[in-house]
Amino acid sequence: MKLGFVINPLAGIGGPVALKGSDGSDIVELALSRGASLKAEKRASAAVEEFSGLAADERLEIVTAAAAMGENVLAANGLDCRVVYTAAEHTTSADTKNAVRLFVEHEVDLILFAGGDGTARDVLDVLSKEFGSEIPVVGIPAGVKIHSAVYAVTPSQAGELINLLISGEPMSLQEARVMDLDEDAFREGEVIARCYGYLSVPVDDTRMQLIKQGGINHHEIALQDIAADVIESMEPDTFYLIGSGSTTAEIMKQMALDNTLLGIDIVYNHELLASDVDEQTILKTIDDHPAKMVVTVIGGQGHVFGRGNQQLSADVIRHVGQDNIIIVATNDKLRSLNKRPMISDTGDIDLDRQLRGLYPVVTGYQQHTLYRLK
């Protein structure tokens, strides 16, 4: 199997600093000025680790891009590779496209790439629009916005898929949507997503994520009941980190507080303390004080952490504590998961494992549903 492997090193850089995306050099510079760190290589490494045991397997040949775009991660995991593209120090989407073009020329069997929806669009532009190629892909989720169905549920599961394919596991292919949001509208609190095309991916309902479902019919009464339950249970002199989403927005609405629909707000004694905060602001604000976080589930996908709320980082979650995580969701949203578990994809594998278990999801007033997080 000849594998093309490429990383967008800047993917996800805007998430922890509340920029809701990473597209464009201006956003990257702003994220770096706010102290953002590069995490795409770490997430890609979590995938590569899953098949690094096949380093000496003659069935695996890897072509990649130099340094942070792939070579570094492969070398760190003991995998030989052939570097076919070298980018400048500061990478752009053009570098991702150039690498993919060379993968096509080298006739790879599959492309494994790490990034977000913007990266998926870059891969699509080359494979579909330039070459009309049907080379299958597997995405390693490393971005802020990950609506596309070409990504695995977690980085580790992307690696598990590659491991299975290298080992000769027969696997069907299907066309999966590449989605993307208008980031400018996203930062203004408006979700405008559309399908840009399709890429071929392995069929695996366990490891590959579904398209994020929008417009699920949340009953207004159910949302109000959930909000009432959370507000009534709020403890005095405790910081509450209110996560993104329409379900949590109802809590803010019922308290008559301004809400950042696609960001994190901090509430203290039923008053808005800070809006649209980033990771470092959260840590400095809550310090050693009691704190809880209120988060919801992405309908159809199941993610609680790691999709659009990277401000709630592994450090923040550990600081708040597992027992202080409040998950809210309507019964309709839980049913949309079709009995699949909720998902934590924080980028910290040890923490994700620690967070596994049954959670009493708030589904109404004084109504809780035990649901598994994996």
Q: Going along 54-147, which residue ranges are E strands? A: 61-65, 82-85, 110-115, 137-141
What does the alpha-carbon distance between residue 191 and residue 372 come to, in Å, rounded to a whole number? 28
Count the domains in the chain: 2
Distance CA 110, CA 134 (A): 10
Main-chain phi, psi angles of 206, to 5 degrees: -85, -40
Q: Which residues contact 53 (CB under 8 A, 6 or more apart)?
A: none
Kindly tell me if the per-residue pLDDT of 144 is higher than 90.
Answer: no
What predicted TM-score, i.e. pTM, was given to this entire model? 0.69
3-state secondary structure of 5: strand
214 inside domain: no
**Alpha-helical segments (H) within 146-238:** 155-166, 183-187, 220-233
In this model, does residue 92 exceed pLDDT 80? yes
In a domain, 237, yes or no: yes
Tell me the two tokens of residue 40: 């795409």
Calculate helix-pair angle for 93-105, 117-124, nearest 10 degrees: 40
Q: What is the pLDDT of residues 238-271, one digit of tens each?
A: 999 999 988 999 999 999 999 998 899 999 999 9
Specify the CATH number for the domain of residue 183. 3.40.50
**Percent of the chain scoring above 90 in pLDDT:** 61
Residue that the structure tokens 């005095």 belong to: 236
Residue 207 lies in a domain: no
Element (H, E) at 232: helix 220-233
Is residue 183, in this structure, part of any structural domain at all?
A: yes
Q: Tell me whether strands 239-242 and 265-268 are parallel, antiparallel or unpaired.
A: antiparallel
Residue 290 lies in a domain: yes
Contact, 61 vs 162, CB < 8 A?
no
Residue ending a domain, among 169, 202, 235, is 202
Burial class (CB in 10 A: 0-12, 13-18, 19+), 30: middle
Residue whose pair of structure tokens reads 């999966």 in the numeric block: 176
Same domain, 197 and 238: no
b/e per residue 268-283 (b: at least 16 CB within 10 A): beeebebbbbbbbbbe
Q: What pLDDT, on a 0 to 100 scale, did the predictor assign at position 33?
A: 53
Answer whether 158's CB lies under 8 Å from 112's CB. Answer: yes
Encoding tokens for residue 227?
């909000």
Q: What is the DSSP letter of 243?
A: -
Domain that holds residue 147: 2-202
pLDDT average, residue stretch 334-350: 92
Do 159 and 47 form a contact (C-beta atoms < 8 A)? yes
CA distance 112 to 48: 10
The token pair that represents 2 in the structure block = 């000849």
Q: Helices (H), strands (E): how many in the chain?
A: 13, 16
26-40 mean pLDDT: 57
Is it the case that residue 185 has pLDDT exceeding 60?
no
Of the three residues 175, 202, 229, the one that is the final residue of a domain is 202
**CA-to-CA dists, residue 206 to 158, 202, 337, 338, angstroms:** 11, 11, 12, 12
The set of residues, in sequence order, having a beta carbon less than 8 Å from that of 160 and lying 6+ positions away, is 50, 207
- pLDDT for the residue numbered 218: 42
Tokens of 159: 């690696």
Give the pLDDT confidence score for residue 212 in this predicted structure.
54
Per this entry, what is the length of the chain? 374
Instruction: Indicate the average pLDDT of the chain.
Output: 87
Examine the domain organization and report whether 139 and 238 are in the same domain.
no
Question: Which of the listed ranges 35-49, 182-196, 302-316 does the model predict with the highest average pLDDT?
Answer: 302-316
Q: Kindly state whether residues 27 and 54 are assigned to the same domain.
A: yes
In a domain, 33, yes or no: yes
Please check whether residues 322 and 286 belong to one and the same domain: yes
Pair 155, 238 in one domain: no
